[in-house]
Each structure stands twice: as structure tokens, then as C-alpha cells.
Amino acid sequence: TQLLEQSPQFLSIQEGENLTVYCNSSSVFSSLQWYRQEPGEGPVLLVTVVTGGEVKKLKRLTFQFGDARKDSSLHITAAQPGDTGLYLCAALYNQGGKLIFGQGTELSVKP
């Protein structure tokens, strides 16, 4: 059973389009993180959301944490080829720092 359900798993869009990635769970989390990973590299932390209903913006990326702290979304406005990569949501499983990851969303933005 996947504790964090991430969707869609694959997304191929044209430059300039908008997209949303979802991360859902039946569990409540104290915080949730979003990472971006490029091929052959380690994941890079984009944002941590901790408060229910919180919205954080990072240039064209908007992250939202659900009111009940069970789900989160990542919205990208006017996607660019440089946004191509694997996007991962992750939640803290315990106080020891163990993370659980969603399945990931492979995004391809074509020029």
C-alpha cells in the first residue's frame, strides 16, 4: 500500500501550458516536501509545507498543503522546457527523519 499517492505519474505538455501535480494520503502529516530531480542527480528540495491550507510560491511554482494536512498540490504556470524532470512529494514518517515518497511525476515540457 502506497502511503502517498502521487498523480499523474507521467505528463507531457507543450511549453506555455499549465499543470498540476497531486499528492494524496489518508494519513495526516506534520509536514510535506516537494523535490525536483534531474536524470543522474539527487533530488533537490523545492519547498516544505507545514500548516494546513498553506500556500507557498516559488516563481512559477505554487505549492498548497490541504487544510487537513493529508494532501498537497504543485501547480506550474506557463511551463518551460527547463521544468522537465521528476517531481517527488515526500512526507515525514517519524521524528527520526525517515521520509516516505510518492511515486513521482515524470514531467516533460516540449518547446
Partner 1 sequence: GAVVSQHPSRVICKSGTSVKIECRSLDFQATTMFWYRQFPKQSLMLMATSNEGSKATYEQGVEKDKFLINHASLTLSTLTVTSAHPEDSSFYICSALPFPGTSGGFYPYNEQFFGPGTRLTVL
The smaller minimum CB distance to partner 1, of residues 22 and 101, is found at 101
* DSSP annotation string for the chain: --SSEEE-SEEEEETT--EEEEEE-SS--S-EEEEEE-TTS--EEEEEE-STT-EEEETTEEEEE-TTSSEEEEEESS--GGG-EEEEEEEE-STT--EEE---EEEEEE-
CB of 87 to partner 1, least distance (A): 10
15, 17, 41, 67: which one binds partner 1 (CB under 8 A)? 41
50, 64, 73, 75: which one binds partner 1 (CB under 8 A)? 50
40, 59, 82, 111: which one binds partner 1 (CB under 8 A)? 40
Cell of 1: 500500500
Counting contacts by CB under 8 A, is residue 64 touching partner 1?
Answer: no
3, 45, 55, 68: which one binds partner 1 (CB under 8 A)? 45
Q: Which residues bind partner 1 (CB under 8 A)?
A: 6, 30-31, 33, 35, 40-45, 48, 50, 86, 88, 92, 95-104, 106
